[in-house]
Amino acid sequence: MVWNEPKDKNPWQSGNNAGNNSPNKQPNQQPPDLDEMLRKFMGKFNDMFTGRGGRNKGGNFQWQSKGGGGAAVLVGIVLLVIYVLSGIYIVAPAERAVITQFGRYVDTVGPGPHWLPRLIRSEEIVDVSQVMSSQHSGYMLTTDQNIVYLELAVQYRIDDPEAFLFNVKDPINSLQQATDSAMRQVAGAETLERILTTGRTEIRQKISDNITAMLQKYNSGLVLVDVAMQPAKVPEPVRAAFDDVIKALEDKDRMENKAKAYSTRMVQVARGQAARFAEEAEAYRTQVESQAQGEANRFNAIYAEYKQAPDIMRDRLYLQMMEQVLTNTSKVLIDTGLNNSLIYLPLDKIMQNAQNTVVNAAASNDLTTNSAANSSNNTAANMRDNTRSRNSR
């Protein structure tokens, strides 16, 4: 059916009732055919997209329906849907997506769903939270011309996805080379003894600092997480000798610690003895001063009494001295009133008493220097003597 029929003809009516449009007539009307209408519409729609149409003799544009046009449109819609869906991608929370347009960097997007036009732009997903590790080992030459075997485990992760993908051709290989270089540089500046014993922590920190500095210089997008250093080893042919050296160093440290402990103990003991001696000397000084002061006071008191009665004081002093002398010596009393010409003297007893007196005197001299009680007793005796002398007068 064409659309270039007369204008007064209704296209929805049949040919017999084409002219019955007046309200006075009763046309023979029928309901429209929906299948025919849908078929015509689809045919015109297909001709529009496929370009199949022409003009009739009257100059009006005429559409011609072709059977293969619907399949082409359906295929085009399916391809369009596939293209749109292919541009959808999802970035995980621990990932970043680097967007490139014809190979050139455009942007870095974070977690979530995203879309991009395929064939024009592309994305590359980079995990920025995964910690990766690499092992490094080898024989190194120390500064004292010895060979040592070092083994490291380097842990790292991606920090800058753009720099990781575009700044360095092979960032992982660059990190490995930087680690090997740092190991040899640090080991070459240390002695074998420090590497094997006390310098492990410091050496590990130096290697970590060197690797970090190289990664920042390269701007490779990698960040160092940790460096684990295994115990250093020596070559097998000289292992026994180095074990002996290590044992000797351990014995040296043990003996040094023991000597330090002994030195500390002896210094403390010596300081304690010095303090005790100082206190004893101070006590002895106080004792001697007090005793001298007491003797001086006693002498002054006796002198005052002597000026008042010289004869009586002279006799009193004589009697006190004779009392002291006779108290510490052996005595023999002889009654001269007897007319017996033979007098028995017990010389053996006298000699034994004399020896005992000498021994007691020596012992009393030793005790006098260390005992303050004796001086106090002597002072009390002197005071009693002074009291007695006053009472006798």
Could you report the per-residue pLDDT of 65-80, keeping only the tens digit for each? 444 556 788 888 888 8
Q: Is residue 57 part of a domain?
A: no
- Range of weakest confidence among 157-166, 299-308, 365-374: 365-374
**Mean pLDDT value across residues 100-128:** 89
Q: Is 334 helix (H, G, I), strand (E, B) or coil?
A: coil
Write down the pLDDT at residue 4.
Answer: 46
Write down the pLDDT at residue 50.
Answer: 54
- Residue scoring higher pLDDT (6 or 367): 367
In percent, the amount of the chain with pLDDT more than 70 equals 66
Q: Is residue 16 part of a domain?
A: no
In percent, the amount of the chain with pLDDT more than 90 equals 21
Write down the pLDDT at residue 225.
Answer: 92
What's this model's pTM, rounded to 2 decimal places?
0.47
How far is 228 from 218, CA to CA, in rounded Å?
23
Q: Is residue 142 part of a domain?
A: yes
187-197: b (≥16 Cβ within 10 Å) or e: beebbbbbbbe
**Domain match, 99 and 172 both:** no
Q: Is residue 180 part of a domain?
A: yes
- Give the CATH number for residue 136: 3.30.479.30
pLDDT at 339 over 90: no
Write down the pLDDT at residue 3.
Answer: 43
Q: Is residue 19 part of a domain?
A: no
Provide the Cα torsion 7, 13, 16, 21; round to 10°.
-60
**Domain match, 141 and 198 both:** yes
Tokens 């922590």 belong to residue:
201
pLDDT at 356 over 80: no
- Residue scoring higher pLDDT (91 or 198): 91
| 310, 303 Cβ separation under 8 angstroms | no
Write down the pLDDT at residue 198.
Answer: 80
**Domain match, 188 and 223 both:** yes
Write down the pLDDT at residue 207.
Answer: 92
Show which of 219, 234, 249 is a domain's final residue.
Answer: 234
- Residue span of the structural domain in which 108 resides: 87-127
Write down the pLDDT at residue 372.
Answer: 46
**Domain match, 122 and 136 both:** no
The winner for highest mean pLDDT among 10-19, 191-200, 225-234, 261-270 is 261-270
**Domain match, 188 and 224 both:** yes
pLDDT at 38 over 70: no
**Domain match, 121 and 212 both:** no
